[in-house]
Structure 1
Amino acid sequence: MKSEERRLRTFQHWPDSAPVSPTDLAAAGFFFIGPDDRVECFCCGGVLYDWFAEDNPLAEHKKFFPGCPFIQGQNIGNQQMPRAGEIQDCVDGQFLGMLQNLGMEEAIIEAQPEYPEKVTEDGRLSTFLNWPAYAQVSPESLARAGFFYTGQDDYVQCFCCDGSLRNWERGDDPWVEHARCFPRCQFLLQSRGRDFVNSIQDTYLDSPESNICQPENPPVIPQAPALNTEEQLRRLKEERVCKVCMDKDVSILLVPCGHLVVCAECAPNLRRCPICRGVIRDSMKAFLS
């Protein structure tokens, strides 16, 4: 997404009611992720939404994410849009020729899969030889949705985004769970499209979180050796440091996932938990003794 033109192409489904121009947003480093008017910086990953007509995207970017290398003017490879009449496809914020024939796949972030050796569906399916009999979802449907079997319980992982899922129940749809837990997976977006992912996110936004969503990597089963007092104190200190700024102590409890991993200054800028990637619907002040 270092190309301004490529960022601009992601706004194919930008809502007509949004008062800010996609051209200005792309120039300010943002690309469209949805739902609604959510955009994300290609450089720092900052997310902004709820735009007003008087908002200046570049000024808002600098206000909320002043440490972004793009905002600071560092050479991070940004490719500006050709100017001086080379692009004539924007009229009153609506796109014409440039987006009429654009497939959704062209608007998805390019990234290398985490497990390139499992890119093929047959390759993923071959990992399910010891799939437990109690698991209620078929290996075929899991492999088709991008997952391979880890060999632990009913843990599966996506070959592309490395997201892991478990605790499968009868009736679970691997595509739906993939979209609900890991909505930014490139394979998912390429296979089902952003509209499908957004619809799943909207459907489950106000629903209780399922225990099927897991952190990106399954837990390590072998028990770790006992830690000495000094190491315990060091780890305890690390656990109390904000996982976003890595500076201030954690003080905000995220709802509904319950993770206590961010400070009061970083929490307002988050829409998803940095640990489990679950949607943040509320937060509360935590007091550590």
Structure 2
Amino acid sequence: SSAERGRRPRLDDKPSVVLMKCEKARLQTFSSWTFFTDPQDLAQAGFFSMGWSDLVQCFCCGGQLSGRNLKDDAWDEHSKSFPQCSFILGHNVENVPLQMDEDEEGYIDYQLRTRAIVDETPYPRNRNMKSEEARLETFSSWPRSAPVRPRDLAQAGLFYLGKEDKVECFSCGGKLSGWEPGDTPWNEHEKHFSHCFYILGHDVGNVPLERDAGENEETVENPLEELEKLRQEKRCKICLDENACIVFIPCGHLASCKACSNKLNQCPICCAAIAQKIRTFIA
């Protein structure tokens, strides 16, 4: 094995990619892994799949290895390639083992939404696709038999990879395929890649497509989709469960339910300091 791209790993005790300090989160990145080494061994050894080619990266030191060359024990390969990694050396780097993570469902999502942690990975992953128009243009050869529309996919941050019905998120790099009737691109994106900063509402440079009145009329043709969108917009941006009912002053964002607002000092949408919290009632 050898380090990829000549990247020099970080040697301090702070994780290089905070978002991947949980073993469960690392394991989930191997959903389409096809190489020799067992994904569970890789996740335990601190690695997560980078989502393109066969590269894996250590959440702690940032060291990268080629998956096709990983034929020995993942921990040994990590130790040989990056012997100064703080995780390998047994330092406290806030790693969350799988057993602990299973008892803390939604832990990473909550910390991201409350901005308790910040992922230092560069976003968006694909800057060429941050424009919705650019994403939409990739669907010129999209299969007509596919049950989801290119416009909805592009709005959900996805662009076409040119093969079968495979798409990728411009922000997190997550890939989706196997679309079925009834699937909604935004919901599927949120279900499979709930940590995506675009899905969480962070500013990742997305450039929306301007729409005229005719397009808006077409959108209203499906009342069930319109109703589901309205329900999503009303949800608390922290727990994604209760309806938002607290307005933050001075920014004016309606973004949180009462329970979640008690834990916030900054608006989760714009990061502005909260001077006052006002409860609203929607008739």
Q: TM-score, normalised by structure 1?
A: 0.33
What TM-score, normalized by structure 2, do the two folds share? Answer: 0.33
